[in-house]
């Protein structure tokens, strides 16, 4: 469905986050007199209600009335944060209501453009930004957007049209995906967002929808080393792998293309083996776009990375402070620990509890040179109990681990400062979301930096 087809339909926009506002602005610009209903699960604030009702063709429905009203519309443009698995959505669909997204509308308007779409449980933003960086260094005109910041419909009429669109897409955006990316990249799969997707299988299936509508000449790029991807990606066509010995892969802290060493990992400004893996994914994309890799290799060393992703704030009293607040899964916390392996690490773990299994994280801590673990609510107690159990195993090697359970981030940072030896590293890599404690992962990371003694502007 294209935007023009909304004309003369009963249209609702559900959710007023950044994407919802962008959708509202776009549709109103196209159809100044189209009646639009804005749906909001919470009550509208007086300020928002006043702003919206200045429009004579605008109606508002909020709170419990939203569920009751869904079947009254022809088309509902749903914000990504609203789960497609909610029962009231299934009920409305049975009455013929069509649910679409801003992502759907954007792709319908750009069907013939060159698009690179990136998804995965972890590494999406870094890899999307790195691909953009490499392409710009190859003198390509690139627009980066999607889940990484710029709402999809804010990029509807970019002039001049870029050579390549680079789009980071979340599982929420892909769950009803109808686009056909020129190149679709899946970095990895771990259980995540199970509250939205209801179960692990739904989450994996939704991620795979990024490939569902690709054309015969489109390219799918997958991670050869990711076990979960290998299990479920059986019906995907035109696959190219990264982390594969016949392509770009990591060995001995270097990037290889087939048997040729092409880049020293020590030249990357962003640390970690996982970031070398992200670089392999980015190089695979660039090569598939027909660009000379030799033009891009040096640009790997000038990529600065993104905030809150193993970001080194600096050193205070000979202790290094690392902000990895983006870490919302146990696997990402393990990646942070691996990055600083061999150091005296104090790691701050814990946040909103989605029930993800933490036993692998506990096993890693119990068998590697981690100096201390400080756990925080909500799932901090569960993490601590799993670590205690792992350390009690006869073959556990890290019997001298220091383990603390605290009530909040402030107490965690205070204890970390007190116990971490000189030349050590304090890492905030919670392995859990910030819900209920901070506005978002960025606020959590900034709070960590401030508590640690850094000036956050």
pLDDT of residue 457: 76
Please indicate, yes or no, whether residues 32 and 121 belong to a single structural domain of this protein: no
The answer to whether residues 381 and 441 belong to one domain is: yes
In a domain? residue 371: yes
- Report the distance separating Cα 101 and Cα 105, nearest Å: 6
Question: How many Å separate Cα 77 from the centre of its chain?
Answer: 22
Residue 56 resides in a domain: yes
| CATH assignment of the domain containing 76 | 3.40.50.720
Residues 123 and 192 in one domain: yes
pLDDT, tens digit (0-9, with 9 covering 90-100), for 274-284:
999 999 999 99
| 258 and 140 together in one domain | yes
The answer to whether residues 171 and 248 belong to one domain is yes
pLDDT at position 235: 83
Say what the pLDDT of residue 137 is.
Answer: 96
Domain match, 45 and 20 both: yes
Q: Which of 274, 302, 330 is the last residue of a domain?
A: 302
Q: How far is CA 134 from the centre of its chain?
A: 20
Please indicate, yes or no, if residue 457 is contained in any of the structural domains: no
Q: How many domains does the chain have?
A: 3
pLDDT score for 404: 99
C-alpha 312/C-alpha 310 separation (Å) is 6
Residues 163 and 77 grouped into a single domain: no
Same domain as 54, residue 95: yes
Report pLDDT for 234: 78
Quote the pLDDT of residue 170. 95
Residue where a domain terminates, one of 302, 334, 352 = 302
**pLDDT at position 140:** 97
CATH code assigned at 410: 3.90.190.20
Decide if 328 is inside a domain.
Answer: yes
* 291 within domain boundaries: yes
What are the backbone angles phi and psi of residue 410, rounded to the nearest 5°? -60, -45
Which residue, of 51, 82, 100, is where some domain finishes? Answer: 100
Please check whether residues 393 and 267 belong to one and the same domain: no
Question: In this structure, is residue 277 part of a structural domain?
Answer: yes
The residue range of the domain holding 394 is: 311-452
122 and 250 in a single domain? The answer is yes
Question: Is residue 27, in this structure, part of any structural domain at all?
Answer: yes
Q: Do 342 and 211 belong to one domain?
A: no
Residue 327 lies in a domain: yes
Pairing of strands 219-223, 183-186: parallel
Contact 435, 362 (CB under 8 A): no
Please say whether the dihedral angle defined by the alpha carbons of residues 214, 216, 219 and 221, taken in this order, is positive or negative: positive
10-residue averages of pLDDT along the chain (457 residues): 95 94 96 97 92 94 96 97 96 98 96 97 96 97 92 91 96 93 97 91 94 96 94 87 97 97 95 96 98 93 94 96 96 96 97 94 97 98 98 96 98 98 98 95 98 93
Residues 114 and 145 in one domain: yes
């Amino acid at each position: 469905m294209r935007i023009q087809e909304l004309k003369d339909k009963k249209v609702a926009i559900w959710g007023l986050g950044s994407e919802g506002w962008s959708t509202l602005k776009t549709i109103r610009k196209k159809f100044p007199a189209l009646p639009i209903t804005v749906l909001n699960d919470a009550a509208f604030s007086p300020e928002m209600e006043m702003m919206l009702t200045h429009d004579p063709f605008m109606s508002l429905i909020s709170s419990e009335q939203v569920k009751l009203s869904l079947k009254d519309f022809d088309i509902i443009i749903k914000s990504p944060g609203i789960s497609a698995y909610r029962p009231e959505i299934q009920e409305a669909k049975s009455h013929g209501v069509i649910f679409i997204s801003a992502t759907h509308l954007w792709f319908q308007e750009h069907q013939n453009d060159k698009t690179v779409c990136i998804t995965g449980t972890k590494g999406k933003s870094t890899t999307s930004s790195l691909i953009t960086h490499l392409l710009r260094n190859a003198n390509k005109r690139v627009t980066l957007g999607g889940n990484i910041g710029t709402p999809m419909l804010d990029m509807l009429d970019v002039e001049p049209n870029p050579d390549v669109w680079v789009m980071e897409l979340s599982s929420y955006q892909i769950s009803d995906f109808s686009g056909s990316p020129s190149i679709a990249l899946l970095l990895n799969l771990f259980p995540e967002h199970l509250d939205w997707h209801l179960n692990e299988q739904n989450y994996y299936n939704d991620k795979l929808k990024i490939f569902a509508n690709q054309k015969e000449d489109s390219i799918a790029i997958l991670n050869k080393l990711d076990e979960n991807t290998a299990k479920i990606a059986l019906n995907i066509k035109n696959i190219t792998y990264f982390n594969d010995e016949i392509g770009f892969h990591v060995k001995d802290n270097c990037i290889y293309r087939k048997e040729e060493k092409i880049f020293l990992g020590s030249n990357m400004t962003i640390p970690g083996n996982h970031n070398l893996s992200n670089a392999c994914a980015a190089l695979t994309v660039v090569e598939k776009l027909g660009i000379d890799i030799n033009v891009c290799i040096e640009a790997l060393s000038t990529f600065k990375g993104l905030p809150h992703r193993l970001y080194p704030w600096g050193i205070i009293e000979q202790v290094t402070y690392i902000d990895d607040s983006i870490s919302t899964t146990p696997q990402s916390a393990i990646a942070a620990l691996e990055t600083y392996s061999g150091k005296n690490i104090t790691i701050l773990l814990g946040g909103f509890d989605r029930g993800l299994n933490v036993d692998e994280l506990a096993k890693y801590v119990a068998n590697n040179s981690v100096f201390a673990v400080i756990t925080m609510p909500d799932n901090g107690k569960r993490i601590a109990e799993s670590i205690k159990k792992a350390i009690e195993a006869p073959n556990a090697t890290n019997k001298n681990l220091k383990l603390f359970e605290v009530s909040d981030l402030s107490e965690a940072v205070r204890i970390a400062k007190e116990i971490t030896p000189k030349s050590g590293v304090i890492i905030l890599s919670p392995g859990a979301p910030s819900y209920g404690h901070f506005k978002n992962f960025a606020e959590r990371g900034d709070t960590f930096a401030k508590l640690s003694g850094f000036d956050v502007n």
